């Protein structure tokens, strides 16, 4: 089929749709062709959505000297970080140190899930006695660590209850679980490609970020509230009107229709042992490193070893680790 990237791009929309429908007939049971939106062919599997990633020779990595000129706000934000933590490097030197260099790789075609999901949780029946006991004490939900396991209970908007308990799964456990169901994880290179869609910008949406809030803040107003909340010892109540998001490029789907690299607290597990991409577990934000430093873990080529590598023999960090299913195309 015409699933090689240059050929796929050259097809007319009607031809792409025809190819996608033929592809659907060859996929494992349950997959169906959903829609062609722009150049992207989407497929459904139950409630999940997958997108076709055509194979080809692609360029990955980031070259800060050739491609990137930081804004005045980004430079000032980094200057504050460097002064507070005694860091000698400039913003460009730091970006170069924590991103992967340009390289060319060849990728095969595959389908990938457009939304990631948290790994390492097992569902619990909402009628479980322990869950009912927790709901009586915490009617709006709770997350507790007891006896080496974490239990969380959430009340959904429709009133239904979602209860889960951590499983202490390792990366190899999850890889085997995916394989048993006919899936796998993205490789690190595949993750980088589907994140940036082949663009050479620092972030998947462009080269710059707002340096008046962290990615987890909806606006500067919320960023100020969070600082004041800490100073109040956790006593300050949020404003009754809440917060309105005024910058949202990081929470929108990318050019492939994939939701990715949007929350630094969520590191995405990939196929290579002991490797994650797309976040630092929230370390920069929790550490108060500064706004630009807080955005940097969302950079497409970000790879700071102390945050992107872990002991693969240990259980994954539940609540901070996400992943998505990949189906190979033969």
What span, in angstroms and rounded, lies between the C-alpha atoms of 263 and 49?
20
Is 176 in the same domain as 68?
Answer: yes
Is 206 in the same domain as 95?
Answer: yes
Domain for residue 99, yes or no? yes
Residue 146 has pLDDT above 90, yes or no: no
Q: Average pLDDT for residues 90-107, to the nearest whole number?
A: 96
pLDDT digits (tens, 9 = 90+) for 217-269: 999 999 999 999 988 999 999 999 999 999 999 999 999 999 999 999 999 99
Domain for residue 24, yes or no? yes
| In contact, 296 and 95? CB cutoff 8 Å | yes
What span, in angstroms and rounded, lies between the C-alpha atoms of 29 and 10?
30
Domain for residue 160, yes or no? yes
Q: What is the pLDDT of residue 133?
A: 85
Work out the mean pLDDT of the chain and round it to a whole number. 94
Nearest to 123 by CA among 113, 131, 135, 115: 131
* Percentage above 90 pLDDT, the chain: 85
| In contact, 314 and 120? CB cutoff 8 Å | no
Q: Which helix (H) or strand (E) holds 228?
A: helix 220-231
* Strand ranges of the sheet holding 31-37, from the earlier edge strand across to the other edge: 31-37, 40-45, 48-53, 110-113, 326-328
Q: What is the pLDDT of residue 1?
A: 61
Domain for residue 129, yes or no? yes
Distance of CA 311 to the CA centre of its chain: 20
* Percentage above 70 pLDDT, the chain: 100
Q: Average pLDDT for residues 129-150, to the nearest whole number?
A: 85
Which residues are 151's β-sheet partners? 144, 165
As given in the structure block, the two tokens for residue 50 are 């997958």
| In contact, 303 and 153? CB cutoff 8 Å | no
Is 37 in the same domain as 64?
Answer: no
Q: Provide the domain count of the chain.
A: 3
Is 264 in the same domain as 320?
Answer: yes
Q: Average pLDDT for residues 183-201, to the nearest whole number?
A: 97
Q: What is the pLDDT of residue 131?
A: 85
Q: What are the helix and strand counts (H, E) for the chain? A: 12, 15
| In contact, 49 and 34? CB cutoff 8 Å | yes
Is 205 in the same domain as 264?
Answer: yes
Is 138 in the same domain as 261?
Answer: no
Is 306 in the same domain as 186?
Answer: yes
Is 261 in the same domain as 198?
Answer: yes
Domain for residue 154, yes or no? yes
pLDDT digits (tens, 9 = 90+) for 259-317: 999 999 999 999 999 999 999 999 999 999 999 999 999 999 999 999 999 999 999 99
| In contact, 255 and 114? CB cutoff 8 Å | no
Q: What is the pLDDT of residue 130?
A: 82
Q: What is the pLDDT of residue 211?
A: 97
As given in the structure block, the two tokens for residue 147 are 């006896």
The residue segments making up the domain with residue 187 are 57-105+169-210+247-328
Is 187 in the same domain as 156?
Answer: no
Is 91 in the same domain as 178?
Answer: yes
pLDDT digits (tens, 9 = 90+) for 57-89: 999 999 988 878 999 999 999 999 999 999 999
Three-state DSSP class for 270? coil
Nearest to 67 by CA among 97, 92, 90, 39: 92
Domain boundary among 35, 54, 73: 54
Is 274 in the same domain as 308?
Answer: yes
Give a three-class secondary structure readout of 24-75.
HCCCCCCEEEEEEECCEEEEEECCEEEEEECEEEEEECCCHHHHCCCCHHHH
What span, in angstroms and rounded, lies between the C-alpha atoms of 252 and 258?
8
What span, in angstroms and rounded, lies between the C-alpha atoms of 20 and 17?
5
Domain for residue 110, yes or no? no
Domain for residue 242, yes or no? no
Is 148 in the same domain as 41?
Answer: no
Domain for residue 304, yes or no? yes
């Amino acid at each position: 089929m015409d699933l090689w990237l240059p050929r796929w791009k050259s097809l007319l929309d009607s031809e792409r749709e025809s190819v996608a429908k033929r592809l659907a007939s060859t996929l494992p049971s349950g997959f169906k062709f959903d829609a062609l939106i722009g150049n992207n062919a989407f497929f459904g599997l139950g409630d999940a959505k997958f997108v076709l990633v055509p194979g080809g020779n692609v360029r990955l990595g980031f070259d800060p000297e050739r491609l990137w000129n930081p804004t005045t706000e980004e430079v000032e934000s980094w200057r504050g970080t460097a002064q507070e933590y005694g860091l000698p490097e400039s913003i460009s030197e730091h970006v170069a140190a924590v991103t992967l260099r340009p390289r060319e790789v060849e990728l095969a075609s595959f389908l990938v899930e457009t939304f990631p999901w948290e790994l390492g949780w097992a569902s619990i029946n909402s009628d479980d006695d322990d869950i009912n006991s927790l709901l009586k004490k915490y009617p709006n939900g709770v997350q507790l660590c007891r006896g080496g396991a974490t239990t969380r209970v959430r009340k959904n908007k429709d009133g239904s209850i979602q209860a889960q308990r951590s499983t202490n799964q390792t990366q190899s456990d999850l890889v085997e679980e995916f394989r048993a169901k006919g899936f796998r994880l993205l490789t690190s290179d595949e993750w980088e490609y589907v994140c940036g869609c082949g663009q050479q910008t620092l972030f998947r949406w462009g080269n710059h970020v707002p340096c008046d809030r962290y990615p987890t803040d909806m606006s500067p107003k919320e960023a100020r509230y969070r600082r004041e909340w800490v100073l109040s010892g956790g006593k300050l109540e949020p404003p009754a009107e809440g917060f309105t998001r005024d910058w949202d490029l990081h929470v929108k789907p990318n050019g492939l229709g994939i939701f990715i690299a949007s929350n630094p607290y969520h590191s995405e597990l990939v196929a290579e042992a002991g490797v994650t991409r797309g976040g630092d577990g929230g370390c920069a934000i929790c550490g108060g490193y500064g706004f630009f430093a807080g955005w940097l873990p969302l950079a497409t080529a970000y790879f700071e070893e102390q945050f992107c590598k872990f002991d693969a023999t240990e259980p994954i960090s539940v609540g901070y680790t996400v992943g998505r299913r990949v189906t190979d195309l033969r």
